[in-house]
Protein backbone atom coordinates (compact mmCIF):
# COMPACT_ATOMS: atom_id res chain seq x y z
CA UNK A 1 0.00 0.00 0.00
CA UNK A 2 1.14 3.55 -0.70
CA UNK A 3 0.87 6.30 1.86
CA UNK A 4 -0.49 9.02 -0.45
CA UNK A 5 -3.01 11.32 1.19
CA UNK A 6 -6.61 10.30 0.52
CA UNK A 7 -9.53 12.63 -0.22
CA UNK A 8 -11.62 11.08 2.55
CA UNK A 9 -10.10 10.89 6.03
CA UNK A 10 -11.90 7.55 6.39
CA UNK A 11 -9.76 5.91 3.69
CA UNK A 12 -6.62 4.39 5.17
CA UNK A 13 -4.82 3.45 1.95
CA UNK A 14 -4.37 4.78 -1.59
CA UNK A 15 -3.43 2.54 -4.51
CA UNK A 16 -3.70 4.36 -7.84
CA UNK A 17 -5.84 2.58 -10.42
CA UNK A 18 -4.24 2.14 -13.83
CA UNK A 19 -7.06 3.26 -16.10
CA UNK A 20 -8.92 6.51 -15.47
CA UNK A 21 -9.18 10.07 -16.82
CA UNK A 22 -7.59 13.05 -15.15
CA UNK A 23 -10.21 15.73 -14.45
CA UNK A 24 -13.94 15.70 -15.16
CA UNK A 25 -16.25 16.82 -17.93
CA UNK A 26 -19.14 17.54 -15.56
CA UNK A 27 -19.51 18.67 -11.93
CA UNK A 28 -19.92 15.90 -9.35
CA UNK A 29 -23.60 15.24 -8.63
CA UNK A 30 -24.05 11.57 -7.61
CA UNK A 31 -22.43 9.02 -5.30
CA UNK A 32 -22.80 5.45 -6.58
CA UNK A 33 -23.05 2.19 -4.59
CA UNK A 34 -21.50 -0.89 -6.26
CA UNK A 35 -20.87 -4.47 -5.19
CA UNK A 36 -17.54 -6.09 -6.13
CA UNK A 37 -19.04 -9.53 -6.78
CA UNK A 38 -16.30 -10.72 -4.43
CA UNK A 39 -16.63 -12.72 -1.18
CA UNK A 40 -17.14 -11.07 2.20
CA UNK A 41 -13.52 -11.14 3.32
CA UNK A 42 -11.52 -8.85 5.63
CA UNK A 43 -9.22 -7.92 2.74
CA UNK A 44 -11.95 -7.16 0.19
CA UNK A 45 -11.15 -3.45 -0.06
CA UNK A 46 -7.44 -4.14 -0.51
CA UNK A 47 -8.06 -6.88 -3.09
CA UNK A 48 -10.22 -4.54 -5.18
CA UNK A 49 -7.64 -1.74 -5.09
CA UNK A 50 -4.92 -4.12 -6.23
CA UNK A 51 -7.18 -5.52 -8.97
CA UNK A 52 -7.78 -2.11 -10.54
CA UNK A 53 -4.10 -1.21 -10.12
CA UNK A 54 -3.01 -4.26 -12.14
CA UNK A 55 -1.20 -5.84 -9.21
CA UNK A 56 -3.09 -9.13 -9.63
CA UNK A 57 -2.58 -9.39 -13.39
CA UNK A 58 -3.36 -7.14 -16.33
CA UNK A 59 -5.31 -4.10 -15.16
CA UNK A 60 -8.90 -4.01 -16.45
CA UNK A 61 -10.24 -1.00 -18.38
CA UNK A 62 -12.08 -0.06 -15.22
CA UNK A 63 -11.43 1.73 -11.94
CA UNK A 64 -13.20 3.09 -8.88
CA UNK A 65 -12.79 5.97 -6.47
CA UNK A 66 -13.23 3.98 -3.24
CA UNK A 67 -13.37 0.38 -2.05
CA UNK A 68 -15.07 -0.74 1.14
CA UNK A 69 -15.32 -3.89 3.23
CA UNK A 70 -16.38 -4.55 6.82
CA UNK A 71 -13.08 -3.36 8.28
CA UNK A 72 -11.45 -0.88 5.92
CA UNK A 73 -11.82 1.73 3.19
CA UNK A 74 -9.33 2.40 0.40
CA UNK A 75 -9.05 4.85 -2.48
CA UNK A 76 -7.94 4.20 -6.05
CA UNK A 77 -8.88 7.35 -7.99
CA UNK A 78 -8.97 10.97 -6.85
CA UNK A 79 -12.42 12.49 -6.54
CA UNK A 80 -11.36 15.23 -8.96
CA UNK A 81 -10.66 12.56 -11.60
CA UNK A 82 -12.96 10.31 -13.60
CA UNK A 83 -13.11 6.60 -12.72
CA UNK A 84 -14.34 4.01 -15.23
CA UNK A 85 -16.99 2.20 -13.23
CA UNK A 86 -20.48 3.60 -13.90
CA UNK A 87 -21.09 4.10 -17.64
CA UNK A 88 -23.34 7.10 -18.11
CA UNK A 89 -22.45 8.53 -14.71
CA UNK A 90 -18.66 8.33 -14.81
CA UNK A 91 -18.20 12.03 -15.56
CA UNK A 92 -20.30 13.25 -12.63
CA UNK A 93 -20.17 10.33 -10.18
CA UNK A 94 -18.06 9.20 -7.24
CA UNK A 95 -18.22 5.41 -7.07
CA UNK A 96 -17.68 3.02 -4.19
CA UNK A 97 -17.16 -0.74 -4.60
CA UNK A 98 -18.25 -3.00 -1.71
CA UNK A 99 -17.35 -6.59 -0.88
CA UNK A 100 -20.35 -8.82 -1.49
CA UNK A 101 -22.80 -9.72 -4.23
CA UNK A 102 -25.81 -8.21 -5.97
CA UNK A 103 -27.65 -11.51 -5.46
CA UNK A 104 -27.65 -11.12 -1.66
CA UNK A 105 -31.05 -11.00 0.00
CA UNK A 106 -31.96 -8.76 2.91
CA UNK A 107 -31.91 -11.57 5.48
CA UNK A 108 -29.66 -13.16 8.09
CA UNK A 109 -27.47 -14.78 5.42
CA UNK A 110 -27.29 -11.67 3.22
CA UNK A 111 -27.37 -7.96 3.96
CA UNK A 112 -28.22 -8.61 7.62
CA UNK A 113 -25.30 -10.89 8.48
CA UNK A 114 -22.53 -9.59 10.74
CA UNK A 115 -20.11 -8.80 7.91
CA UNK A 116 -22.68 -6.92 5.82
CA UNK A 117 -23.96 -5.02 8.85
CA UNK A 118 -20.46 -3.77 9.61
CA UNK A 119 -19.80 -3.08 5.92
CA UNK A 120 -22.96 -0.97 5.59
CA UNK A 121 -22.07 1.01 8.72
CA UNK A 122 -18.58 1.60 7.31
CA UNK A 123 -20.02 2.59 3.95
CA UNK A 124 -22.62 4.90 5.49
CA UNK A 125 -19.85 6.91 7.12
CA UNK A 126 -17.98 7.11 3.82
CA UNK A 127 -21.06 8.19 1.82
CA UNK A 128 -21.87 10.79 4.48
CA UNK A 129 -18.35 12.19 4.18
CA UNK A 130 -18.35 12.15 0.36
CA UNK A 131 -21.75 13.82 0.15
CA UNK A 132 -20.98 16.44 2.79
CA UNK A 133 -17.73 17.52 1.15
CA UNK A 134 -19.24 17.55 -2.36
CA UNK A 135 -22.59 19.07 -1.36
CA UNK A 136 -24.53 16.03 -2.59
CA UNK A 137 -28.00 15.79 -0.98
CA UNK A 138 -28.45 12.79 1.32
CA UNK A 139 -31.27 11.29 -0.72
CA UNK A 140 -31.65 8.07 -2.71
CA UNK A 141 -32.69 9.21 -6.17
CA UNK A 142 -35.38 7.52 -8.22
CA UNK A 143 -34.57 6.56 -11.81
CA UNK A 144 -36.66 9.51 -13.00
CA UNK A 145 -34.74 11.91 -10.76
CA UNK A 146 -31.43 10.55 -12.01
CA UNK A 147 -32.57 11.00 -15.61
CA UNK A 148 -33.71 14.55 -14.84
CA UNK A 149 -30.27 15.53 -13.55
CA UNK A 150 -30.99 15.61 -9.80
CA UNK A 151 -28.19 15.21 -7.25
CA UNK A 152 -28.07 12.38 -4.72
CA UNK A 153 -27.13 8.74 -4.12
CA UNK A 154 -27.80 5.90 -6.58
CA UNK A 155 -27.01 2.24 -7.22
CA UNK A 156 -25.10 1.03 -10.28
CA UNK A 157 -28.28 -0.69 -11.45
CA UNK A 158 -30.03 2.67 -11.75
CA UNK A 159 -27.34 4.03 -14.07
CA UNK A 160 -27.76 0.85 -16.13
CA UNK A 161 -31.51 1.39 -16.48
CA UNK A 162 -31.33 5.12 -17.12
CA UNK A 163 -28.30 5.35 -19.45
CA UNK A 164 -28.39 1.84 -20.98
CA UNK A 165 -24.60 1.65 -21.27
CA UNK A 166 -24.07 -1.33 -18.98
CA UNK A 167 -25.67 -4.61 -17.93
CA UNK A 168 -24.71 -4.44 -14.24
CA UNK A 169 -27.49 -4.84 -11.68
CA UNK A 170 -25.64 -4.21 -8.40
CA UNK A 171 -26.30 -3.71 -5.55
CA UNK A 172 -29.34 -5.84 -6.41
CA UNK A 173 -33.10 -5.80 -5.96
CA UNK A 174 -32.90 -6.74 -2.27
CA UNK A 175 -30.47 -4.03 -1.22
CA UNK A 176 -31.79 -2.34 1.99
CA UNK A 177 -31.89 1.22 0.69
CA UNK A 178 -34.10 2.64 3.46
CA UNK A 179 -31.88 1.25 6.21
CA UNK A 180 -28.72 2.34 4.44
CA UNK A 181 -29.94 5.89 3.82
CA UNK A 182 -31.00 6.26 7.45
CA UNK A 183 -27.47 5.24 8.45
CA UNK A 184 -25.96 7.78 6.01
CA UNK A 185 -28.08 10.60 7.42
CA UNK A 186 -27.18 9.58 10.97
CA UNK A 187 -23.48 9.41 10.13
CA UNK A 188 -23.62 12.89 8.62
CA UNK A 189 -25.07 14.25 11.83
CA UNK A 190 -27.94 15.87 9.99
CA UNK A 191 -31.65 15.64 10.69
CA UNK A 192 -33.49 13.52 8.17
CA UNK A 193 -35.03 15.66 5.40
CA UNK A 194 -38.54 16.55 6.46
CA UNK A 195 -40.97 19.12 5.12
CA UNK A 196 -41.74 22.07 7.36
CA UNK A 197 -45.14 23.63 7.89
CA UNK A 198 -44.00 27.17 7.04
CA UNK A 199 -45.50 28.55 3.84
CA UNK A 200 -43.28 30.67 1.60
CA UNK A 201 -44.89 32.86 -1.03
CA UNK A 202 -44.55 36.18 -2.89
CA UNK A 203 -43.14 38.72 -0.44
CA UNK A 204 -41.58 36.22 1.98
CA UNK A 205 -38.04 37.03 3.06
CA UNK A 206 -35.36 35.38 5.19
CA UNK A 207 -32.88 32.51 5.43
CA UNK A 208 -35.44 29.85 4.47
CA UNK A 209 -36.08 31.65 1.19
CA UNK A 210 -32.36 31.97 0.52
CA UNK A 211 -31.81 28.25 1.23
CA UNK A 212 -34.74 27.41 -1.07
CA UNK A 213 -33.21 29.50 -3.86
CA UNK A 214 -29.80 27.90 -3.36
CA UNK A 215 -31.33 24.42 -3.45
CA UNK A 216 -33.29 25.13 -6.63
CA UNK A 217 -30.16 26.46 -8.36
CA UNK A 218 -28.12 23.44 -7.24
CA UNK A 219 -30.55 20.61 -7.96
CA UNK A 220 -32.32 22.04 -11.03
CA UNK A 221 -29.61 23.80 -13.08
CA UNK A 222 -31.83 23.81 -16.20
CA UNK A 223 -34.39 26.08 -14.51
CA UNK A 224 -34.00 29.88 -14.62
CA UNK A 225 -31.19 30.74 -12.22
CA UNK A 226 -32.31 32.61 -9.12
CA UNK A 227 -30.58 35.34 -7.18
CA UNK A 228 -30.00 33.94 -3.69
CA UNK A 229 -31.06 37.16 -1.99
CA UNK A 230 -33.58 35.66 0.42
CA UNK A 231 -36.47 37.52 -1.20
CA UNK A 232 -39.38 35.50 -2.62
CA UNK A 233 -40.04 37.62 -5.69
CA UNK A 234 -41.74 37.00 -9.06
CA UNK A 235 -38.79 34.99 -10.42
CA UNK A 236 -38.87 32.61 -7.45
CA UNK A 237 -42.63 32.26 -7.92
CA UNK A 238 -42.06 31.40 -11.60
CA UNK A 239 -39.41 28.78 -10.82
CA UNK A 240 -41.61 27.17 -8.15
CA UNK A 241 -44.47 27.05 -10.66
CA UNK A 242 -42.15 25.35 -13.15
CA UNK A 243 -41.08 22.85 -10.48
CA UNK A 244 -44.70 22.14 -9.52
CA UNK A 245 -45.63 21.56 -13.16
CA UNK A 246 -42.75 19.15 -13.77
CA UNK A 247 -43.14 17.34 -10.45
CA UNK A 248 -46.85 16.91 -11.17
CA UNK A 249 -46.08 15.37 -14.56
CA UNK A 250 -43.63 13.01 -12.83
CA UNK A 251 -46.27 11.94 -10.29
CA UNK A 252 -44.42 13.46 -7.33
CA UNK A 253 -46.78 16.36 -6.65
CA UNK A 254 -50.57 16.45 -6.71
CA UNK A 255 -51.52 19.94 -5.50
CA UNK A 256 -52.01 23.19 -7.39
CA UNK A 257 -49.52 24.99 -9.63
CA UNK A 258 -49.56 28.29 -7.76
CA UNK A 259 -45.91 29.24 -7.14
CA UNK A 260 -46.38 28.91 -3.37
CA UNK A 261 -44.04 26.73 -1.32
CA UNK A 262 -46.40 25.09 1.13
CA UNK A 263 -46.22 21.66 2.83
CA UNK A 264 -47.00 19.67 -0.34
CA UNK A 265 -44.43 21.55 -2.41
CA UNK A 266 -41.83 21.22 0.38
CA UNK A 267 -42.42 17.47 0.47
CA UNK A 268 -41.99 17.22 -3.31
CA UNK A 269 -38.84 19.37 -3.19
CA UNK A 270 -37.40 17.19 -0.42
CA UNK A 271 -37.89 14.09 -2.58
CA UNK A 272 -35.49 15.69 -5.08
CA UNK A 273 -33.00 16.69 -2.42
CA UNK A 274 -34.02 20.32 -1.85
CA UNK A 275 -34.44 20.79 1.90
CA UNK A 276 -34.36 23.98 3.96
Same domain for 211 and 116, yes or no, is: no
- CATH number of 29's domain: 3.40.80.10
Per-residue pLDDT at 194 exceeds 90: no
One domain, residues 179 and 214? no
- The reply to whether 155 falls in a domain is yes
Residues 183 and 211 reside in one and the same domain: no
Q: State whether 114 and 17 are in the same domain.
A: yes
Domain containing residue 31: 13-188
Q: What is the pLDDT of residue 259?
A: 94
For 33-64, what is each residue's pLDDT tens digit?
999 999 999 999 999 999 999 999 999 999 99
Give pTM, 2 decimals. 0.71
Best CA proximity match to 45, nearest among 112, 109, 118, 102: 118
Does 144 fall in a domain?
yes
Phi-psi region of 248 (alpha: psi -120 to 50; beta: other; left: phi over 0): alpha
107 and 19 fall within a common domain: yes
Residue 134 lies in a domain: yes
For the chain, give the number of residues.
Answer: 276
Q: Is residue 276 part of a domain?
A: no
Task: Establish if 113 belongs to a structural domain.
Answer: yes
What pLDDT shows up at residue 210? 85
Query: What mean pLDDT, rounded, does the chain reach?
Result: 92
Same domain as 158, residue 52: yes
Instruction: Give yes or no: residues 184 and 246 share one domain.
Output: no
> Residue 195: inside a domain, yes or no?
no
C-beta of residue 38 within 8 angstroms of C-beta of residue 100? yes
pLDDT digits (tens, 9 = 90+) for 124-167: 999 999 999 998 988 898 898 899 888 899 999 999 999 999 99
Amino acid sequence: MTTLTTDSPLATSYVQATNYYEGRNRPIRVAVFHTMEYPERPTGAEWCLNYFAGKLGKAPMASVHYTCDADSIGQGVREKDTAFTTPGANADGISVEHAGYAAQRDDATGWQDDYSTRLLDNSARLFADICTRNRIPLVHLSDAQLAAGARGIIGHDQATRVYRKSTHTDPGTHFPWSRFMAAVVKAAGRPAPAPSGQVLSLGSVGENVRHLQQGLNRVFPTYSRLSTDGSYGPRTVAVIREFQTRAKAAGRYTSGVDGITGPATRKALASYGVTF
